[in-house]
Amino acid sequence: MSVDFFLTQTLNGLSFGGLLFLLASGFTLVFGLMRIVNLAHGAFYLVGGYIGFTTLLVTGNFWLAALVGAVAVAVLGTFVERVLLRPIRGQDMPEVLLTIGVAFVLGDLSLAIWGGDPVQLPIPGYLSGGVDLGVVSYPRFRIFVAVLGVAVGVALWFLQHRTRVGAIVRAGVDDREMIAALGVNIRLVFTGVFLFGAFLAGLSGVIGGTFLSLVPGADIEILLFALVVVILGGLGSLPGAAIGSALVGLIDSFARALVPELSFFTLFAPMAIVLVLRPHGLLGRR
Amino acid sequence: MTGRTTSRRRRGKKGNTPGRARVSPILVFGALFGVVAFACSPPGGDVAQPGGGGEDDVIKAGLIAPLTGVAAAPGNDMVDGWNLYFKLNGTQFAGKKIETVTEDTAGDPATALNKTEQLLGRTGSDFIVGPALASSGLAIAGQISRQGVPFFLPVVSADDLTQRGRLPGVVRIAGWSSSQTTHAFGQWAYDQGYRRVVTLCTDYAFGHESCGGFVNTFTDAGGKVVKQLWQPLGTQDFGTYVAQIREADPDAVFVLTVGAESPRFVKAWSDFGLKNKIPLLGGETTLDQSLLRGMGGEATGLTSIGHFVEGRDSPATQRFVEAYQKEYGKLPSYYAAAMYTAAQWITQAIKEVGGDVSNTDAFLKAIRGVQLEDSALGPIRLDEYDNPVQNVYLRKVEKRDDGKLWNVPEQTFPQVSQFWKYEPQEFLDHPVYGREYQGNGVWPEPRK
């Protein structure tokens, strides 16, 4: 295995992992606090990407597109949480089924609005092209995605551990009723976290829409990866999502190169093993 | 942790659910597989128009295509192409009115079977045309053939439907077989001086067959395939494959991607800086117009092979392209061109039999006798095995004055048969191209 090959596959894995983290962090936060497995998270990703795409066509500004895509999905997420999910709070099955329903509705609406042809978002000129890493040249944008994943991870950690809001969220994860009894408006916290998770999903849609393309069905494809990430890392755990993202990205990248016939096996086998040995994931709490 | 007490207390109301966090992974996966399974069963297709009076004056066309689901884009292009022909030429032919009933397969073979049953039974279709995906086409071909209803396949390209697995009444009008175009491509690649080639193709029948056509003629000419990569259908990230191609450093690379894979691959190819370093030889679906619509500058200048090229400078093609653009605001894909040409083909045969399609044998004879001097696809007629003999084009992506991308022909291989230059019977003695059999190096000696 040459250095060139090893370096490229590692970077491939880390950049894909960066994208997965953007998506999975919101997913895992929502689960940790609200115990909702939001299967509409993939649809949030897709819709965010599509809205970003349209914004980009109109304005030509990538960062504005990323912002609009993320904010629009945050608004959508707020609606889903406040109007649809609130009446059935605490009931596993109805919650999961509702999020599946939302995923279908969003998927079909996207097909009706944006059609079925795959679309890709153009990236700003200064982020395109390659970076010379000595032995090999690697696409600049993909390095940016990996860096963005790390940056968001650090920011989230800081938010959770160094701010009052983060403290409330952490306390909410541990004991929702106690924190409500202490006078914190837990409903507002729920909405806030759901909104934030949706925001990250929308943002990841815009980022992912640049090097993976947006197409009906991409929502379920990416959701599958996000689920493996959070189950591997531990549902509800941010550091778990970070480790899970990097692992899944790297496994996917190397497995496809080294044992292409087994690339799905190598993705799911670690998850199955982890589930057997640690049913709550690597860093999940009981 | 304390969360557990909370959960337990909340759970208390409902009783016996074990630990929530524990259930969830299983619940999640169960639900997800539910999603996938459910995604495959679509809502009902278009409601068939009740026959009403004047049945004798109506010819019923059953059109089956994926209008929802992952193949919705090509499916809708198909319907648009078919409808465009009747918008431009009316629906009256030889005193009969052609009435089209459209059903949605959602890209799922089981659904395709059900919808076909409806088209055959309740609707009483005189013939069936479609679908997009080989999986659906193979699922319904036997069913339709047994009923003695003609089945036309302008899009499904599975080699064996007109080779080793022919069925009575199943005719590939205005269609193509997967390896038909790539046979020409392999020979061309060798003629360009390429000697070491890597292939990257989607790991399912269409990819195996397309790749096999290329590998077979290329190695037969004396070229060497140094590496064959197979990416799973629907691959998200092509970085891994592009890196492997770079490492192998071939003279050229043959790539066959489908659907959303195509823009993903082309983007990765350009991002990794290989675009102008290693010549890229794309399959038809890698750079079809349906995918160029979503691509940008990274696609310009790329080369591919195909049996349709929207920039072909001929009145038949340009009339179609302009009408399509006027009607739907976009340039037509090969799916649209194939269905448009199929409509032209079928109506010509209907005219020849004086509007009487009840005699299936006579109708099929007329279908097989159709020769289009020029069509949207170019000059085209059927061979003895019910697959078209037609032009294959070497295409190049160009940016038009209006900013849209399209393919223009660089070179035309006139009147190519599905058997290329091989003797049909000898060709058919070999197995169909698959992952295990790419014809490489052992052609034309039959393999045991």
B263: in domain: yes
pLDDT tens column, B121-141: 989 999 999 999 988 999 999
b/e for B280-294, b at 16 or more Cβ within 10 A? bbbbbbbbbbbbbbb
User: Which residues in chain B touch residue A175, judged by CB atoms under 8 angstroms apart?
Assistant: 2-3, 5-6
DSSP per residue over A35-57, as a string?
----TTHHHHHHHHHHHHHHHHH
Answer yes or no: is pLDDT of B43 > 80. no
Cα distances (Å, whole numbers) of residue A45 to A202, A245, B142 = 5, 16, 41
Structural domain span for residue B271: 179-306+392-428
Per-residue confidence band for B20, with pLDDT thresholds at 50, 70 and 90: very low
Residues B243, A236: C-beta atoms closer than 8 Å: no
pLDDT tens column, A10-39: 999 999 999 999 999 999 989 888 888 899
Least confident of A83-87, A97-101, A131-135: A131-135
Is residue B202 domain-shared with residue B123, that is, in the same domain?
no
Per-residue confidence band for B49, with pLDDT thresholds at 50, 70 and 90: very low
B93: in domain: yes
Taking CA atoms, what residue in A is nearest to B296?
A122
Q: Half-sphere exposure of A277 toward its Cβ, with a 13 Å CA cutoff?
A: 10
Taking CA atoms, what residue in B is nearest to A230?
B25
Average pLDDT across chain B, whole number: 87
Is residue B409 domain-shared with residue B291, that is, in the same domain?
yes
CATH number at residue B248: 3.40.50.2300
Average pLDDT, integer, range B203-230:
94
- What pLDDT, on a 0 to 100 scale, did the predictor assign at position A177? 84
User: Which residues in chain A touch residue B263, judged by CB atoms under 8 angstroms apart?
Assistant: 118-120, 213
Answer yes or no: is pLDDT of B420 > 60. yes
Is residue B331 domain-shared with residue B297, that is, in the same domain?
no
Average pLDDT, integer, range B208-221:
95
Per-residue confidence band for B41, with pLDDT thresholds at 50, 70 and 90: very low
Out of A39, A96, A118, name the one closest to residue B260 (CB): A118
B448: in domain: no
Q: Which position has the higher pLDDT, A129 or B274?
A: B274
Would you call B326 exposed, middle or buried from its count of C-beta atoms within 10 A (0-12, 13-18, 19+)? exposed
Answer yes or no: is pLDDT of B12 > 60. no
Is residue B226 domain-shared with residue B122, that is, in the same domain?
no
Phi, psi (5° rounding) for residue A265?
Answer: -60, -45
Answer yes or no: is pLDDT of A254 > 60. yes
Task: Provide the residue ranges of all domains of chain A, joining segments of one domain with +.
Answer: 25-214, 217-286
Is residue B415 domain-shared with residue B378, that is, in the same domain?
no
B7: in domain: no
Out of B20, B69, B73, name the one closest to residue A117 (CB): B73
B356: in domain: yes
Is residue B247 domain-shared with residue B301, that is, in the same domain?
yes
Answer yes or no: is pLDDT of B36 > 70. no
pLDDT tens column, A144-182: 999 999 999 999 999 989 999 999 988 887 888 888 898
Answer yes or no: is pLDDT of B442 > 60. no
Whole-number percent of chain A with pLDDT over 70: 99
Is residue B185 domain-shared with residue B156, that is, in the same domain?
no
Is residue B299 domain-shared with residue B282, that is, in the same domain?
yes
d(CA B206, CA B387): 16
Answer yes or no: is pLDDT of B2 > 50. no
Q: Which position has the higher pLDDT, A115 or A61?
A: A61
B373: in domain: yes
Single out the residue of B211, B212, B187, B217 nearest to residue B438, CA to CA: B212
Is residue B269 domain-shared with residue B162, that is, in the same domain?
no
Is residue B333 domain-shared with residue B224, that is, in the same domain?
no
- Number of domains into which chain B is organized: 2
Residues A108, B68: C-beta atoms closer than 8 Å: yes
Q: What is the ipTM of this complex?
A: 0.78
Of the residues B1, B20, B23, B32, the best mutation for testing chain A's interface (the one with the most A CB atoms within 10 Å of its CB) is B32
Answer yes or no: is pLDDT of A80 > 70. yes
Average pLDDT, integer, range A226-242:
90
B250: in domain: yes
Least confident of A115-129, B80-94, B191-205: A115-129
Is residue B82 domain-shared with residue B222, that is, in the same domain?
no
